[in-house]
């Protein structure tokens, strides 16, 4: 019951105490991540305790898709990798994120908080240089962690009937779409989430601004993200190729 309570109350933490978790605590968190289901343990964790991390967190984990170790092990067995890099990368992403999710759950059971940083793939060159990552190791996500200095409420989620479907995917009515939007938007507005974070995304297209913090909420926020950013897939494919992944090359 305690585990279920932790899962249901999980939230991102963006203010941390300066106190640093013990080495024993860190190892427990990482070991919990290692015990997640996996394809071939195609991941690695880089821990940084130096410098100033985002939100003042004492710990920064960089969670990587890692084919480098697989290459080395197979070479010892006199095998050559023939599986295409795209398939291997998908498996590695699954491995890495399953482990990362379990790390978060373990951390909360130990009194820690955390927040995922999703921009790691787009800062790949900087991360690779900073941590001296070998070829075929690619940063998938970063995770800041430490003792929370705040206790925000859990963020809203879609209604269960908008996420759980039995036997087949439904043909949503306009009313069902609007209801899911209402749940998300009213939940975030009630918390004052975007106003507290001064988080309105600027319009980069020719569209009149009609939103203020009184009505700007989650569905407009995600629409501005994915309606304006990262239009060209080459932006990420070039980073993967630079790391030794043969993906998207003609």
85-103 pLDDT, tens per residue?
A: 999 999 999 999 999 999 9
pLDDT digits (tens, 9 = 90+) for 180-189: 999 999 999 9
pLDDT on residue 57: 97
Q: Last residue of some domain: 128, 152, 176?
A: 152
Give the pLDDT of residue 243: 86
CATH number (domain holding residue 48): 3.40.109.10
CA distance 119 to 239: 13
Residue 241: inside a domain: no
Q: Which one-letter DSSP state was computed for residue 189?
A: H
Asked if 7 and 83 sit in the same domain, the reply is yes
For residues 63-92, average pLDDT: 96
Strand partners, 62: 46, 142
Average pLDDT over residues 29-43: 97
For residues 32 and 78, state if they share a domain. yes
Question: Are residues 135 and 203 located together in one domain of the fold?
Answer: no
Whether 137 and 202 share a structural domain: no
Query: Is the same domain home to 23 and 146?
Result: yes
- DSSP code, position 197: T
State the CB neighbour count (10 A cutoff) for residue 85. 19
Backbone angles phi, psi at 145, to 5 degrees: -155, 150
- Same-domain pairing of 58 and 172: no
Q: What is the mean pLDDT of residues 158-179?
A: 96
3-state secondary structure 24-77: HHHHHHHHHHHCCCCCCCCEEEEEECCCCCHHHCCEEEEEEEECHHHHHHHHHC
Residue 243 lies in a domain: no
Q: What's the pLDDT at 28?
A: 98
Helix, strand, coil percentages for the chain (3-state, nearest 5): 45, 10, 45
**To 5 degrees, how large is the angle CA 118–CA 123–CA 126?**
140
- In this prediction, residue 152 carries a pLDDT of 92
Nearest to 124 by CA among 12, 8, 1, 236: 236
Of 152, 168, 193, which closes a domain?
152
- Do 27 and 136 reside in the same domain of the chain? yes
Range of the structural domain that residue 39 is part of: 2-152
Task: Give yes or no: residues 143 and 171 share one domain.
Answer: no
- Whole-angstrom Cα Rg for the chain: 20
Residues 144 and 205 in one domain: no
Note every long-range contact of 133-136, with CB atoms under 8 Å and residues 24 or more positions apart, other chains counting: 133/46, 133/64, 133/243, 134/68, 135/68, 135/243, 135/244, 136/66, 136/67, 136/68, 136/71, 136/243, 136/244, 136/245
Could you give the CA distance from residue 139 to residue 163 in angstroms, rounded to a whole number? Answer: 28
User: From CA 146, how far away is CA 68, in angstroms rounded?
Assistant: 29
pLDDT at 249 over 70: no
Residue 143 has pLDDT above 90, yes or no: yes
Residue 128 CA to residue 146 CA, distance in Å, equals 24
* Residue 108 domain-assigned (yes or no): yes
Residue 28 sits in the same domain as residue 109 = yes
Share of the chain above pLDDT 70, in %: 99
Where in 80-168 does DSSP place strands (E)? 113-117, 137-146
pLDDT at residue 102, as a whole number? 96
Cα gap 200→214, rounded to integer Å: 11
Query: Looking at residue 51, what is its pLDDT?
Result: 77
């Amino acid at each position: 019951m305690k585990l279920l309570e932790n899962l249901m109350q999980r939230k991102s933490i963006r203010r941390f105490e300066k106190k640093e978790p013990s080495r024993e605590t860190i190892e427990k968190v990482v070991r919990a991540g290692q015990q997640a289901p996996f394809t071939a343990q195609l991941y690695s964790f880089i821990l940084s305790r130096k410098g100033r991390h985002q939100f003042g967190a004492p710990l920064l984990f960089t969670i990587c898709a890692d084919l480098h170790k697989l290459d080395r092990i197979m070479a010892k067995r006199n095998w050559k990798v023939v599986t295409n890099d795209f398939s291997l990368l998908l498996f590695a992403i699954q491995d890495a994120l399953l482990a990362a999710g379990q790390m978060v759950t373990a951390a909360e059971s130990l009194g820690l908080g955390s927040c995922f940083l999703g921009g790691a793939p787009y800062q790949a060159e900087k991360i690779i240089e900073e941590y001296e990552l070998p070829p075929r190791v690619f940063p998938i996500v970063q995770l800041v962690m430490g003792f929370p200095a705040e206790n925000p409420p859990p963020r809203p989620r879609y209604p269960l009937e908008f996420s759980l479907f039995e036997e087949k995917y439904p043909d949503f009515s306009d009313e069902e779409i609007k209801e899911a939007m209402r749940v998300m938007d009213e939940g975030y507005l009630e918390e004052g989430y975007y106003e507290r974070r001064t988080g309105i995304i600027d319009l980069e297209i020719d569209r009149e601004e009609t939103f203020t913090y009184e009505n700007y909420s989650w569905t407009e926020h995600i629409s501005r993200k994915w309606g304006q950013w990262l239009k060209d897939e080459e932006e990420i494919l070039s980073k993967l190729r630079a790391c030794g992944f043969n993906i998207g090359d003609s």
